[in-house]
Amino acid sequence: MTERPAERTAGPVADRGREDTAVRPLTQRIRTRLAEAADEHERNATVVRPTTGRAPRRARLRLTRVDPWSVMKTAFLLSIALGVVTIVSVFIVWSVLEAAGVWEAVNSTVRDIVGGDEAQSFDVEEYVGLSRVLGFTMVVAVVDVILMTAVATLGAFLYNMAAALLGGVEVTLSED
C-alpha cells in the first residue's frame, strides 16, 4: 500500500480548487473594513474647489499668552545676528572710505585749514582707525544683544499680564 501525504488546507499555498471556510469570512471582513476606511477617508479629505461665488473661510483666534522663554531665545539669536551684521557693515563702510581716500582727504583738509607744525603731524586714523572703530562697534553690539534680549523678554511678560486683563490680541485668519 502506498501512503499518500496529508493534504495541506492551511498556509500560504492552499488547494486552489477548494475554498477554506475559516479564511473566507476573515478576508471578507478585511475587505469590508478597507472599503469603509476608504469611504471615510474620501469624506474627510479636503477638496480644493474654486472659490467662485463663495466667501473664504475665516477663523478668529485670540493670542492670550506668549512664552517668555521662547521669546528670550529668539530675541537673543536675532540680536546676535544683528550684532554680526553691524560689525560686518561697519568694517565694509570703513574699508570703502579707506579705499576711496577719504582719510587722506580729511588729513590734507585739516593741514590746509590749521596750518603750522602741529597740523603736519595730524593723522585722522589715530582717532578713527580700523581697530578702534571695530572695538567700539563690538562693545556696542554686545550691549545691544543684552538690551534687546532683556527688552523682548520683559515685553513678553508685560504682554502676558495685559492679555490676562484685557483678553489678548484677536487675529482673524482667512483661507485663500
pLDDT at residue 38, rounded to an integer: 74
Nearest residue to 71 (alpha-carbon basis) of 165, 155, 133: 155
pLDDT at residue 3, rounded to an integer: 52
DSSP codes, 7-51: PP-SSSS--TTS--TTHHHHHHHHHHHHHHHHHHHHHHS------
At 11-30, the pLDDT tens digits run 555 555 455 555 567 677 77
Cell numbers for 105: 582727504
Max Cα distance, the chain (Å): 136
pLDDT at residue 29, rounded to an integer: 76
The pTM for the full model equals 0.59
Cell numbers for 7: 493534504
Query: Could you write out the three-class secondary structure of 141-168?
Result: HHHHHHHHHHHHHHHHHHHHHHHHHHCC
C-alpha dihedral sign at 8, 9, 14, 17: positive
Return per-residue pLDDT of the chain as tens, 176 residues: 555 555 555 555 555 545 555 556 767 777 787 778 777 767 766 555 555 667 788 888 898 999 999 999 999 999 999 999 999 999 999 999 999 988 888 888 888 888 777 667 778 888 888 899 999 999 999 999 999 999 999 999 999 999 999 988 999 888 87
pLDDT at residue 112, rounded to an integer: 80
pLDDT at residue 123, rounded to an integer: 80
3-state secondary structure of 113: helix
